[in-house]
């Protein structure tokens, strides 16, 4: 997919009304019958940053991942197959700017040996070095989610966009990381943020999300 066509798709998807996103995503099946065996939740998730930097999620303070689990979209029609945090790695792809917008794919990759599914939106938040959230929760687009099936080694991406602060005049901060929580999961993944300032307050400071689609968004 070309950068131009990807930018057009993102712009079209983000043009509709949006709903507030909690940091912990809530669009997916609540069925945990396919969860890893007992003790698997203690295994640190692999986290892959855009430039290859890895960071364990254990350093993320509780107050950065305490938002509501309430779903804002219908549950996935596929039950018992949800991807769990311990089975995934996270990364942020290359910016695809356009029309005063900065557009980043937030990518989750299946590192497990089983096929699992993602449905809906990731929970996301920019945080500083201490783990404090910068700016409000992102807003979700009105785009209808689809169930994305991830075979081992396969990826899905969700679009994260915001107005270029130099154009919008919004107040900014430079995050240390982007915290990413898979749909219906509570444990986050932490990705080093290498793309500079983001809007955190003032006019045109909203960060927006579109739901997961297959691939890496590249």
Give residue-wise pLDDT tens across range 137-193.
Answer: 999 999 899 999 999 999 999 999 999 988 888 899 999 999 999 999 999 999 999
Does pTM surpass 0.85? no
- Report how far residue 28's alpha carbon sits from residue 118's, in angstroms, rounded to the nearest whole number: 7
β partners of residue 162: 102, 207
pLDDT at 58 over 80: no
Helix (H) or strand (E) holding 6: helix 3-13
pLDDT at 109 over 80: yes
Percent above pLDDT 70 for the chain: 64
Please, are residues 103 and 159 in contact by the beta-carbon 8 Å criterion?
yes
How high is the pLDDT of residue 80?
72
Buried b (16+ CB within 10 A) or exposed e, 164-202: ebeebebebeebbbbbbbbbbbebbbbbbbeeeebbbee
Mean pLDDT along residues 14-30: 41
Residue 107 has pLDDT above 60, yes or no: yes
The bridge status of strand 177-181 relative to strand 155-163 is unpaired
């Amino acid at each position: 997919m070309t950068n131009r066509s990807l930018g057009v798709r993102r712009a079209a998807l983000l043009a509709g009304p949006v709903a507030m996103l909690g940091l912990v995503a809530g669009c997916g099946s609540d069925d945990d019958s396919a969860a890893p065996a007992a003790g698997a939740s203690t295994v640190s998730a692999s986290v892959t940053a855009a430039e290859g930097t890895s960071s364990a999620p254990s350093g993320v303070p509780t107050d950065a991942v305490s938002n509501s689990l309430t779903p804002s979209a219908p549950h996935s029609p596929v039950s018992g197959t949800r991807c769990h945090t311990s089975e995934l790695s996270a990364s942020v792809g290359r910016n695809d700017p356009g029309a005063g917008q900065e557009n980043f794919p937030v990518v989750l990759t299946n590192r497990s040996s089983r096929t699992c599914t993602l449905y809906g939106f990731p929970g996301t938040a920019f945080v500083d070095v201490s783990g404090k959230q910068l700016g409000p929760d992102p807003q979700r687009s009105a785009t209808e989610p689809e169930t994305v099936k991830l075979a081992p080694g396969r990826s899905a991406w969700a679009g994260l966009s915001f107005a270029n602060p130099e154009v919008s005049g919004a107040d900014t901060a430079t995050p240390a990381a982007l915290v990413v929580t898979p749909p219906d999961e509570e444990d986050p993944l932490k990705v080093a943020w290498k793309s500079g300032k983001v809007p955190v307050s003032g006019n045109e400071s909203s960060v927006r999300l579109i739901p997961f689609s297959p691939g890496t968004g590249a």
